[in-house]
Amino acid sequence: MRKLDNKTKVELIWIVAVIAILGWAAVSNASYLHTNSVNIANPVGSSPEGVVINVTGYQWAWAFQYPNGTISTDVLYLNNNTTYTLMVSSKDVIHDLYIPQFGVNVYAVNGHPNQITFKPTKAGTYIFECVEYCGEYHYEMRGTVVVT
Ligand SMILES: [Cu+2]
């Protein structure tokens, strides 16, 4: 058998390393997509799952209305291991509610509510923000999600 020279060895190491990195990326991406695949916003209409929270974006804050009628502003209170459906709408211009921890990203459009379903599985405090530029104080449309 022919002995490999050093150049060929280095090349083989590079090839194996690149395949390993791409393989790892493919597997982690596939598992992320698998766990978040149901997390897609839809127009309101299909029957909502779990606890329904009405979310209203307006210049420049978010209001969350819970089933008992209470409203919180800029803090979203959730219970761990509970399924929620957010009914997201806007009072004025287009906003976009983004909660990266739960894979939630849903447009808030006046007259066209969208819904999204998700389930927090870890207690903690997370962030949310508006990711659609919506005017002068757009940066104020951020807050916390408190999961207990
Ligand atoms: Cu906004």
CA of 141 to the centre of ligand 1 (A): 6
117 vs 106: CA distance, rounded Å: 11
CA of 47 to the centre of ligand 1 (A): 27
CA of 145 to the centre of ligand 1 (A): 17
Between vectors from CA 138 to CA 38 and to CA 93, what angle results, nearest 5°? 70
CA of 32 to the centre of ligand 1 (A): 27
- Per CATH, the architecture of 42-147 is what? Sandwich (2.60)
Instruction: List pLDDT tens digits, range 87-127.
Output: 999 999 999 999 988 889 999 999 999 999 889 999 999 99
Instruction: Output the pLDDT for position 39.
Output: 62
Residue 136 has pLDDT above 80, yes or no: yes
DSSP letter at 97 equals: E
Instruction: List pLDDT tens digits, range 18-60.
Output: 999 999 999 988 887 766 555 666 777 777 889 999 999 999 9
Boundaries of every domain in the chain: 1-37, 42-147
